């Protein structure tokens, strides 16, 4: 198999900020290859350096050392004018949308086209096409202040796509949006990636965003790249502490259960398709320990029994028992099962 | 009862007095108003011509700005501060030679425009600086990410996005320049201030002074009202 040259190569990137009397290392030793057509997630806690990293990709922030190569252009070797030309081919959207508040939707989308020197008539035509793509044709003459957050981000996406970029950088693009809006924006990004083949880099602190649409993910922690690879691989088998912290939210091992109270639950032909125990844990928000289980699935019906160790807290335990009884499962309390 | 009657009599006498002053001096008051407005508007316009580049330079060359230039920024900053520190009347006297050079004489409305411009330019430059500074950094960053040049950012982002604040600033400037122009009356500057000083102060005609001051107040109110109306009408941030 022939190895293709990655579209974006980040090489030995190092960025520090010099303060009054100290220096802060924002990024160090970042190496990353991103292939054409990928949706690449870069995830990290706030302050990890991910926003600096995305700004280094289009050289809005100049790295202290190291470089970024886009296609065949080494950005560290370009002068200001050449850099501006590269940036016209790299779209960017932001958490706060950053639309021009005194321009209407159409003129916002036309803005990058004005910079690239397109004629007025063609600009308008292109803006109409883009509004079609993001589904806002009826808002052409509206001002940003008249739009919802999700609509503003759609305008920002249209604006970022105006110059037919090969790459779209998304800096926390969904962080200011509610879950529904987030899904719809992610859907739009996926769509754009499919239809236009644009490489998308998504900076986020939300796992759901990466799981939702990314093919690859890089985890960044305190300025270091700790892990990268296919999303399934990294998330199913996080190797570093930073990755585990993100994937499991907390790095703490589950505390040993000390409760003495146990219950036996008997399945006698109820539907096996309802995940009773999982639902119970989610609904009651407390943990149980399965001490014994012998269940079978026979033609879609569950048979058998299971012994659960309940939490010590009486209220939590009662809540679980009542939940199970409410589900028509046979529950039998066992005293002193543990330690037998 | 007698009190109300007294007030009524006083008011009617007062109105009568104003009436006779206004009718008796209508030509002079009209000319004064015209001269005051002429000085104010021309001075404001010329000040903006000078102040715009200065204000924008102050923002752009600032530390952390779009094009930091430490020394140039410091020089502009100091010049603006000096300009704002000199009391207007003193400045007016100090620049008489320059005024004569430009306007041919040192008195009258046209000549007064010279010191008015010199006095208001630093002030206007500061107002422009603060308006431009209000523009959201994120929007500037977005423009940079699209490959906009410094020139494009100034003319397509900074100025249009600061529009409302700039108009409010212009309203404040016009008001301040109007009051400066009245002050110039003390030096034979022409306009309403001149009339107030000559009649009200030198000839002890308090009523005449009252009328001219009232006209200045009305002008100020009108300018302020119109300015704010335009600012609100053109602001697209409010629905």
Task: Name the β-bridge partners of A9.
Answer: A33, A69
pLDDT tens sequence across A138-163 = 999 999 999 999 999 999 999 999 99
Query: Which residues of chain B have a CB within 8 Å of the CB of A85?
Result: 147
Closest chain B residue by Cα to residue A99: B139
- Is A153 in the B-facing interface, judged by CB distances under 8 Å? no
Judged by CB atoms closer than 8 Å, whether chains meet at A98 and B138 is answered as: yes
Confidence check: pLDDT of A252 > 60:
no
B-proximal residues of A, 33-62, CB under 8 Å: 58, 60
**Any idea where the domains of chain A sit in the sequence?**
8-245, 251-334
Q: pLDDT above 90 covers what percent of chain A?
A: 59
B211-229 residue pLDDT tens: 999 999 999 999 999 999 9
Contact A268, A330 (CB under 8 A): yes
Interface test with B, best of A19, A62, A101 (most B CBs within 10 A): A101
- pLDDT band, very low/low/confident/very high, at B4 (cuts 50, 70, 90): confident
Asked if residue B14 belongs to a domain, the reply is: no
Q: Is residue B220 part of a domain?
A: yes
Q: How far is A169 from chain B (nearest CA, A)?
A: 10
pLDDT-derived band at A340, boundaries 50, 70, 90? very low
Helices (H), chain A: 50-57, 80-87, 105-116, 120-134, 149-161, 179-196, 207-213, 231-236, 241-248, 276-284, 314-326
CB-based contact (8 Å) between B229 and chain A?
A: no
Residue B181 lies in a domain: yes
**What residue of B is the nearest CA neighbor of A85?**
B147
Distance separating alpha carbons of residues B55 and A332, to the nearest angstrom? 81
Mutate to test the interface with A, among B139, B143, B145, B230 (most CBs of A within 10 A): B145
Nearest by CB: A145 against B138, B160, B237: B237
Angle at A207 between CA A201 and CA A209, to 5 degrees: 50
Other Cβ atoms less than 10 A from the Cβ of B161: the count is: 23
* Average pLDDT of chain B, as a whole number: 93
Check residues A277 and B55 and name the one with the higher pLDDT: B55
CATH code of the domain in which B160 resides:
1.10.3720.10
DSSP B235: -
Tokens 């009328």 -> residue:
B211
What global pTM score does this model have?
Answer: 0.80
Range scoring the smallest mean pLDDT among A78-82, A303-307, B104-108: A303-307
| C-alpha distance from B34 to closest chain A C-alpha (Å) | 35
Over the stretch A3-54, which tens digit does the pLDDT of each residue have? 678 999 999 999 999 888 888 899 999 999 999 999 999 998 888 889 999 9
Reply yes or no on whether the pLDDT at B28 is more than 50. Answer: yes
Nearest CA-CA distance, residue B63 and chain A, Å: 13
Amino acid B175: pLDDT: 96
Q: What is the ipTM of this complex?
A: 0.85
Please tell me the distance from the alpha carbon of residue A265 to that of residue A272, in angstroms, as a whole number: 14
Contact yes or no for A100 and B149 at CB 8 A: no
Residues 61-90 of A with CB under 8 A from B: 83-88, 90
Q: Would you say residue B106 lies in a domain?
A: yes
> Measured between beta carbons, which residues in chain B are less than 8 angstroms from residue A102?
160-161, 163-164, 235-237
| A336 pLDDT tier (thresholds 50, 70, 90) | low
∠ Cα B182 B110 B44 (to 5°): 65
More confident residue, A311 or B62: B62
- pLDDT confidence bin for A215, thresholds 50/70/90: very high
CB A33 within 8 A of CB A218: no
Q: Please state, rounded to an integer, the average pLDDT across all residues of chain A.
A: 88
Q: Answer yes or no: is pLDDT of A90 > 70.
A: yes
A255 — pLDDT class (breaks 50, 70, 90): low
| Residue B78 CB partners (closer than 8 Å, separation 6+) | none
Taking 50 as the threshold, does the pLDDT of residue A220 lie above it?
yes
The answer to whether the CB atoms of A102 and B239 lie below 8 A apart is no
pLDDT tens by residue, B142-181: 999 999 999 999 999 999 999 999 999 999 999 999 999 9
Distance of alpha carbon A234 from alpha carbon A251, whole angstroms: 16
Using the predicted structure, report yes or no on whether residue A1 has a pLDDT greater than 50. no
Burial group, residue B61, by CB count within 10 angstroms (0-12, 13-18, 19+) = buried
Classify residue B137: in a domain, yes or no: yes
pLDDT of residue A22: 86
Q: Residue A137 pLDDT > 60, yes or no? A: yes
Could you say which residues from 85 to 114 on chain B have a Cβ atom under 8 Å away from some Cβ of chain A? none
Residue A256, pLDDT score: 61
Q: What pLDDT sits at residue A291?
A: 82
Spatial separation of the C-alpha atoms in residues A239 and A242, rounded to whole Å: 9
CATH architecture of A8-245: 3-Layer(aba) Sandwich (3.40)
Please indicate, yes or no, if residue B239 is contained in any of the structural domains. no
* pLDDT, tens digit, 9 for 90 and up, residues B176-208: 999 999 999 888 889 999 999 999 889 998 888
pLDDT at residue A77 is higher than 60: yes
Domain that holds residue B138: 28-234
pLDDT band at A330 (very low <50, low <70, confident <90, very high): confident
- A51-69: per-residue pLDDT in tens? 999 999 999 999 999 999 9
CA B127 vs. chain centroid, Å, equals: 11
Q: Residues of B with CB below 8 A from A166's CB?
A: none
What local confidence, expressed as pLDDT, does residue A249 receive? Answer: 61
For residue B8, tell me if it sits in a domain: no
Closest by CA to A316, choosing from A261, A265, A249, A253, is A261
CATH architecture of A251-334: 2-Layer Sandwich (3.30)
Any CB–CB contact under 8 A between B79 and chain A? Answer: no
The string over A208-237, giving b where at least 16 C-beta atoms fall within 10 Å of a residue's C-beta and e elsewhere, is ebbebbbbbbbbbbebbbbbbeebeebbee
Q: Is a pLDDT exceeding 80 seen at residue A274?
A: no
CA angle A69, A82, A107 (to 5 degrees): 105
Give the Cα separation of A319 and B118 in Å (integer).
80
Q: Which residue of B has its CA nearest to A95?
A: B138
**Interface contact B151, partner A, CB < 8 A:** no
Q: What is the pLDDT of residue A242?
A: 81
B157 and chain A in contact, CB less than 8 A? yes
Of B144, B147, B157, nearest to A100 by CB-CB distance is B157
More confident residue, B136 or A280: B136
Residue A207 has pLDDT above 50, yes or no: yes
Cβ–Cβ of B237/A101 closer than 8 Å?
yes
- Number of domains forming the structure of chain B: 1
For residue A339, pLDDT over 60 is answered with no
A99: contact with B, CB 8 A cutoff: yes
Contact yes or no for A101 and B139 at CB 8 A: yes
């Amino acid at each position: 198999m022939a190895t293709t040259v990655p579209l974006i190569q980040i090489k030995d990137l190092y960025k520090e900020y010099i303060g009054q009397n100290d220096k802060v290392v924002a990024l160090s030793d970042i190496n990353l290859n991103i292939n054409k057509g990928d949706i690449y997630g870069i995830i990290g806690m706030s302050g990890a350096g991910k926003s600096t990293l995305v700004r280094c990709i289009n050289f809005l922030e100049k790295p202290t050392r190291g470089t970024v190569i886009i296609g065949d252009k080494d950005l560290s070797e370009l002068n200001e004018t050449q850099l501006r030309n590269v940036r016209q081919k790299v779209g960017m959207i932001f958490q706060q949308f950053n639309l021009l508040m005194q321009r209407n939707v159409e003129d916002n989308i036309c803005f990058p086209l004005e910079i690239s020197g397109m004629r007025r008539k063609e600009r308008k035509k292109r803006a109409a096409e883009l509004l079609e793509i993001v589904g806002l044709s009826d808002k052409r003459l509206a001002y940003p202040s008249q739009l919802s957050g999700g609509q503003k981000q759609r305008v920002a996406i249209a604006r970022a796509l105006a110059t037919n970029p090969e790459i779209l950088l998304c800096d926390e693009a969904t962080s200011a949006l509610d879950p529904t809006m987030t899904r719809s924006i992610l859907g739009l990004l996926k769509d754009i990636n499919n239809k236009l083949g644009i490489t998308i880099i998504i900076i986020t602190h939300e796992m759901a965003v990466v799981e939702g649409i990314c093919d690859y993910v890089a985890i960044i922690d305190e300025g270091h790249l700790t892990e990268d690879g296919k999303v399934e691989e990294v998330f199913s088998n996080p190797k570093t502490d930073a990755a585990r912290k993100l994937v499991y939210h907390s790095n703490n091992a589950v505390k040993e259960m000390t409760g003495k109270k146990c219950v036996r639950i008997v399945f006698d032909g109820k539907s096996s398709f309802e995940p009773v125990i999982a639902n119970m844990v989610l609904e009651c928000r407390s943990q149980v320990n399965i001490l014994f289980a012998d269940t079978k699935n026979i033609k879609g019906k569950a048979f058998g029994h299971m012994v659960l160790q309940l939490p010590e807290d009486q209220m939590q335990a009662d809540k679980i028992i009542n939940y199970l009884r409410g589900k028509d499962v046979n529950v039998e309390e066992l005293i002193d099962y543990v330690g037998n | 009862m007698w009190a109300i009657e007294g007030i009524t009599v006083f008011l009617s006498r007062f109105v009568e007095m104003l009436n006779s002053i206004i009718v008796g001096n209508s030509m002079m008051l009209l000319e004064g108003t015209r001269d005051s407005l002429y000085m104010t508007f021309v001075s404001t316009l010329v000040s903006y011509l000078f102040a715009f580049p200065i204000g924008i330079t102050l923002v752009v060359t600032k530390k952390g700005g779009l094009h930091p230039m430490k020394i140039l920024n410091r020089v502009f900053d100091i010049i603006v501060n000096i300009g704002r520190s000199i009391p207007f009347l003193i400045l007016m006297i100090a620049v008489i030679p320059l005024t004569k050079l430009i306007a041919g004489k040192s008195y009258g409305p046209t000549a007064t425009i010279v010191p008015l411009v010199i006095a208001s330019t630093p002030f206007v430059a500061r107002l422009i600086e603060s308006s431009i500074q209000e523009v959201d950094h994120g929007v500037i960053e977005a423009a940079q990410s699209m490959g906009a040049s410094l020139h494009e950012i100034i003319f397509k982002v900074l100025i249009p996005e600061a529009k409302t604040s700039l108009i409010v600033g212009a309203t404040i400037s016009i008001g301040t320049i109007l009051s400066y122009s009245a002050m110039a009356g003390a030096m034979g500057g022409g306009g309403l201030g001149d009339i107030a000083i000559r009649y009200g102060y030198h000839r002890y005609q308090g009523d005449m002074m009252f009328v001219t001051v009232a006209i200045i107040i009305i002008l100020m109110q009108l300018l302020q009202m119109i300015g704010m109306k335009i600012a609100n009408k053109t602001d697209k941030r409010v629905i």
